[in-house]
Structure 1
């Protein structure tokens, strides 16, 4: 195999990594942000937290949006749109576990707070620890970005199709609303569809499920267009100019392999459920920790969720 051929294959794998991870983040913060930025960070196991062993065949990535204002470090502000994604290197299966951002949890080393505050307190490591403590599966990597990048990426792939289970609207983001059934989402609509929660029956729980619907739509579009001449190459040029990571090329290559092997027919997803409470005058989600742990137990070794209860 020639050096040129090897290089081309490596570029395609890294391109797949960049494109799929970027869209998987589904960034939907509630504030204006500065020009797009994305970061991929490898995290270490939390000190003093006992995590069950994870199969070496499964890679876990926590995709999270940051609601950083202009001039703020997006890796040390409140996180948003938390999706823990596992990928099975052997079977091509993938599982996404959505975590409501207002979940009131214990953040290792920082006391109790809304789970999205972990990013503010201790960066990607602390957020990875908090999600790991809730679900019982700690991510190997944390992927952080801003919603403007998400919109730009949706535009670059020609939008996505989703199956919307119930019609809904928002007087500020989408007054005309989204109809029930299969719909096409362009850049703005994909952001609004993923961001709206106030008019949904289950609020943040349904919003997290909508984010997963958009994620599936993106994965399907990227896979469908991957063989088009220049599609992957243009994607990597668009994404990598914004990507900051300390990972070596060999590790990016391995992640790219995992992402390239995901089979759309083997993607399953669930959202951690809970009750609504009030702590210190703030509305919070009181997550069903037993259910969260069951989801982690079911998906830990094969990235498959047979049920969400």
Structure 2
């Protein structure tokens, strides 16, 4: 991965992983409920953008509604994005939002409550503690930021893997195949779980598919016209709030020496629905999860033997 790719992926993460917030520097949006937000996970640490040690981004989709505190609401989607600068590869790890975990200082609960309980810092601490991973950046977005940014880039080209139809809940109504989605359609795809046999596990995988679609579209447009980078960044500018400076972002964006490679893994942590703490939650498969993080933490890549089956394998095509 290059520095430019890291910057772009921060933006992509900030507005894809199911409803996430990304950020760019400065204070383009002073609203109390920004559509996008990005920050360093550890203020005193700047990751290396070269070498084999992965750069790790936590992409969070906030379930906040307009007027809510975006940074202290239940999370709707969670992805860890591992970038290997040396091998130019990436791995997306979807974390089911109902995963039952220990939340430091708050006891055991579903992982999506960590953001509401203590904001991005507690969410980072919870994930680092549970999975033994060091996070470099976090990115959070909202429903309204997600929709508006996709519309501003002219829609998102996505290969929808199967028929998706769920008018009563997410509102999704998509046929299988490659198509350009509006902001509303992409949001419906990101939120759909009722039409999926795998429920939230499938929704996490679809969030990864949207991230991959955004990366593919950006690369295609950038190859044709490098100035398109500004279009993508500008699409979210009015929604953004961040602890990063614009200099930080532009440094990442303009010190690239090569395009990223094509190998990107999209996996979802396996588990099962159980009653935990008196509520329905996801008990993660500890053995499989440990194998995944033992693999991905050193170099950002999961070996084939430890890649779990796709949760949507049995979804009717």
TM bucket normalised to smaller: 0.7 to 0.9
Correspondence for 2:90: 94
| Aligned equivalents of 2:142, 2:150: Cα separation in 1 | 13
Of the structure 1 ranges 126-135 and 159-168, higher mean CA displacement relative to structure 2 is found in: 159-168
Counterpart position of 2:154: 158
Q: Which runs of 5 or more residues in structure 2 are unaligned?
A: 22-31, 44-50, 309-317
Q: 2:139 aligns with which of 126, 137, 143?
A: 143
2:15 aligned partner: 23
Match of 1:113 in 2: 109
Q: Deviations over 1:102-148 (max 9, x none)?
A: 11111122210000100011111111122223332131121111121
CA distance in 1, matches of 2:13, 2:138: 10
**Which segment is superposed worse, 172-181 or 91-100?**
172-181
The superposition leaves residues 79-105 of structure 1 with CA deviations (integer Å, 9 ceiling, x where unpaired) of 121010011222221111000111111
The 1:294–1:260 alpha-carbon spacing in structure 2 relative to 1, beyond 3 Å, is farther
The answer to whether structure 1 residue 301 and structure 2 residue 293 are counterparts is no
Mapped contact 2:20–2:59 kept (Cα < 8 A):
no
The answer to whether the 8 A contact 1:89-1:258 is kept is no
Normalized against structure 1, the TM-score is what? 0.81
SS at match of 1:81: strand
Write the deviation string for residues 171-197 of structure 1: whole angstroms up to 9, x where unpaired: 325667322333432211111111010
1:38 aligns with 2:36: yes
Q: Deviations over 1:267-297 (max 9, x none)?
A: 1121001111123543211111222222222
Identify which of 235, 242, 249 aligns with 1:252. 249
2:28 paired residue number = none
After superposition, the Cα gap between the structure-2 partners of 1:198 and 1:221, relative to the gap in structure 1 and judged at 3 Å, is same
Gaps of 5+ in 1: 1-9, 46-54
SS at match of 1:169: strand
SS at match of 2:293: helix
The number of residues matched between the two structures is: 286
1:73 & 1:261 partners in 2: Cα distance?
Answer: 39
Residue 239 (structure 1) aligns with: 236
Aligned Cα root-mean-square deviation (Å): 3.0
Q: Find the counterpart in structure 2 of residue 123 from structure 1.
A: 119
Between the aligned partners of 2:154 and 2:89, the Cα distance in structure 1 is 25
Q: For residues 255 and 109 of structure 2, what CA distance do their matches in structure 1 show?
A: 33
* 1:57 aligns to 2:49 (yes or no): no
SS, match of residue 298 in structure 2:
coil
Structure 1, 282-291 or 234-243: larger mean CA deviation = 234-243
Native 8 Å contact 2:33 2:70 kept in 1: no
Q: Could you say if the C-alpha distance between residues 260 and 108 of structure 1 is closer, same or farther in structure 2, counting changes exceeding 3 Å?
A: farther
8 Å contact from structure 1 (residues 14, 253) kept in 2 = no
Say yes or no: does 1:289 pair with 2:286: yes
**Is 1:277 matched with 2:269?**
no
CA deviation profile, 1:5-51 (whole Å, cap 9, x unmatched): xxxxx9x889736643433443079xxxx975211122249xxxxxx
